[in-house]
Structure 1
Amino acid sequence: MLMKKSLIALAVAGALAAPMVAQADATLYGSLRVMVVDQEDSELNVADNSSRIGIKGSVDTGIDGVKAIYRGEWKVNTADGADFGAGRLAYVGLTGGFGTAAIGQQWTPYYTFVTGATDILDGKSTAPTQDVFRTGNAIAYVSPEMGGFQGALVAIADDNANGEDVDAYNVAAKYSVAGFTVGASLLTDEASDNDMTAVSAAYAAGPLYVAALYQDKEAADVKQWELAGSYAFGDTKVLANYIDFDNDGNGFGLEVQQKLGKQSRVFANIYEVNDDAEDMGKKDAISVGMRVDF
């Protein structure tokens, strides 16, 4: 009899908890990525490839058409130790017909609107010119899409005693029509008076994707450009990129990806650089790996 009462109590508790979980609308997600890398002048290495686990969702605000959003995401070390690493994302905000406003550590529009256009490979040759992905201490606004146009503004304020209320700004815009997308972004560091600008153009049509990126990094006096593209043959995709690192340094990557269902794939990548790029610390590499998303 006692066991029956316990089972009934558990059933009632489950029934009461279910609507609360549904109302929270939380999603657990992740991407576990591991690769084996054979890099010039180095020994064979098993490496994590930007694995992450996160939770995101939205809740009702009681305001018509407006939801409160939240997201937390952390690095995961799949190669050694299997431990959680530093946080990647952690923010809250509001979203509705006016767009999205959020506070916390977020993706920069410098990446999501512009430089991410060429970040399409899984292997060692991916994102070779990119060093701006996410930022903390951010107050961000992203407009709704209006006839193919979308804009974004981020102010970064981290109280680092440099005499500036706002330490950096990132403004970006993009326009999409008929498979073409063009984007531009300016990132200004008020404390160091340093600017970074980037422009990109991309075209997608069925199995074909091509993109170009140009960056001007003022403080380093570096001007870089990159080309990337892919073509899919069913579950197989062939990808390539060419990178000009400035100062006569350049390189290229070739990759083949094979889908294993809808949420996993394997890849093989070869990355070659010239002597000038090697003088900049770049290295030839071959990498193979697997990625599982959930």
Structure 2
Amino acid sequence: MPVKHNNALIAGTAVLALAAPMAANADDINFDFYGSARVHAESVQPDDTSALDSYTGVRDAYSRIGFNADYALSENVELFGQLELPLDLANKAVQDPWDQDLDIRVGQIGLRGDFGTFAYGQMWMPYYNAIAYPVDMFSTYYSGFATFTSFRLGDTIAYYSPSFGGFSVAAAWSDSNGADGDDRYQLTASYSFGDTTLAAGLDDWGGDSNSRIWGVSLMHTIGDLYIGAKYEVHDSDIDSGYGADGDSAVNLYAGYTLGKNTFKLMLANVDNYGEGIVHLGVDHQLNDQLKLFAEYYYEEETAAITEKRGGLNETAWAASGGQVLAAGVRYDF
């Protein structure tokens, strides 16, 4: 789905809103600069090589650089901002490796306190955080495709409540980022108890087909074992194809940490976007900053496989899915 990115407005708002208190008293504003370089080599084998030849190459896995800033307006209210740029190291460009028209990952400004958190700009969305994130745990470019929702959207206002006995809610309105240019609305509710979190959410796209997604998720930890699961279903007036009424995405993820190694497995079925999916991986944490990873990814129908170093616009829809072997490195700073 096309997404509107008013990047100049988002970045300008964040900078100007933080500049005022910084100019008043620079000693009271806190900056945290960060970055993450993530690159892997890959061997891609499409099922239909008449549509796309097999290839080997290097791909970026969502590198980024940015900063967080915060300023105390009072004892209980804090102004915060974040600006994060994508770095497509394989293509030597400031762009997201999937949406290669996107040159800002996050650009938001907001207030937080005992009342919760309000934010405006381009940000991670509440529905993704509650429903899709619990199974989005892999290290390569191929992480996160087995969902119907969008990760980040611009021109968005979001609210996250504080936790009341483990229960919390979140909501968002996103200008013109729905179907057919409609506004987009999201609402989620989560409940955490012990080592378990349950969540439910709605992602309302609107549009001529009255499209929306309903989702539920589970996160549970047992010692070194983490289990994540989600179920999403389309509710729309569409009879067939992507977004058809009743189409579902079902994911089951398990990760087990043994020393410096984390072993990962996800099985999923996403109607009209990958169909049957198998994702295997292992991470090796050399130190606090440096990680090595290797993964195997298989999709029954095309969702993630693209031309070499390509993104959304180069997705090989006619390749009928395929498999990927990848190995890479991640350095956080």
Residue 82 (structure 2) pairs with residue 65 (structure 1) = no
Q: Which residue among 213, 219, 234 is the counterpart of 1:217? A: 234
Q: Report the CA distance between 1:249 and its aligned residue.
A: 3.0
Residue 122 (structure 2) pairs with residue 105 (structure 1) = yes
8 Å contact from structure 2 (residues 302, 320) kept in 1: no
Of 121-130 and 51-60, deviating more is 121-130
Q: Which residue among 32, 39, 49 is the counterpart of 1:27? A: 32
Aligned equivalent of 1:266: 292
8 Å contact from structure 1 (residues 124, 286) kept in 2: no
Q: Report the CA distance between 1:60 and its aligned residue.
A: 2.0
Larger relative contact order (Cα-Cα within 8 Å, sequence gap ≥ 6):
2
Deviations 1:140-161 (A, max 9, x none): 110011111111010112499x
Residue 224 (structure 2) pairs with residue 202 (structure 1) = no
* Distance in 2 separating the partners of 1:99 and 1:84: 32
3-state SS of paired residue (2:270): strand
Residue 56 (structure 2) pairs with residue 44 (structure 1) = yes
Aligned equivalent of 1:180: 196
Report the residue type matching 2:197 in the other structure: T
Identity %: 28
Superposed, 1:135-150 pairs within 5 Å as 135-150=153-168
Deviations 1:108-136 (A, max 9, x none): 01111111000011135522313410111
Of 274-283 and 128-137, deviating more is 274-283
Aligned length: 273
Report the residue type matching 2:277 in the other structure: G
* Distance in 1 separating the partners of 2:181 and 2:284: 52
Which has more strand, going by share of residues? 1
3-state SS of paired residue (1:284): strand
Q: Report the CA distance between 1:267 and its aligned residue.
A: 0.7
3-state SS of paired residue (2:146): coil
Aligned equivalent of 1:245: 270
Q: In the superposition, relative to structure 1, how do residues 125 and 289 fare at CA in structure 2: closer, same or farther (>3 Å)? A: same
Report the residue type matching 1:255 in the other structure: G
Of 176-185 and 118-127, deviating more is 118-127
Deviations 1:151-198 (A, max 9, x none): 1010112499x896xx11100111111111111110112344210111
Q: In the superposition, relative to structure 1, how do residues 159 and 97 fare at CA in structure 2: closer, same or farther (>3 Å)? A: same
Q: In the superposition, relative to structure 1, how do residues 142 and 84 fare at CA in structure 2: closer, same or farther (>3 Å)? A: same
Of 241-250 and 210-219, deviating more is 241-250
* Distance in 2 separating the partners of 1:178 and 1:73: 33
TM-score w.r.t. length of structure 2:
0.75
* Distance in 2 separating the partners of 1:144 and 1:83: 35
* Distance in 1 separating the partners of 2:259 and 2:324: 27
* Distance in 2 separating the partners of 1:186 and 1:31: 31
TM-score w.r.t. length of structure 1:
0.85
8 Å contact from structure 2 (residues 131, 200) kept in 1: yes
8 Å contact from structure 1 (residues 105, 137) kept in 2: yes
Q: In the superposition, relative to structure 1, how do residues 284 and 57 fare at CA in structure 2: closer, same or farther (>3 Å)? A: same
8 Å contact from structure 1 (residues 210, 230) kept in 2: yes
* Distance in 1 separating the partners of 2:177 and 2:281: 43
Aligned equivalent of 1:282: 321
* Distance in 1 separating the partners of 2:201 and 2:177: 24
Superposed, 1:78-157 pairs within 5 Å as 78-83=89-94, 86-123=103-140, 125-130=142-147, 131-157=149-175
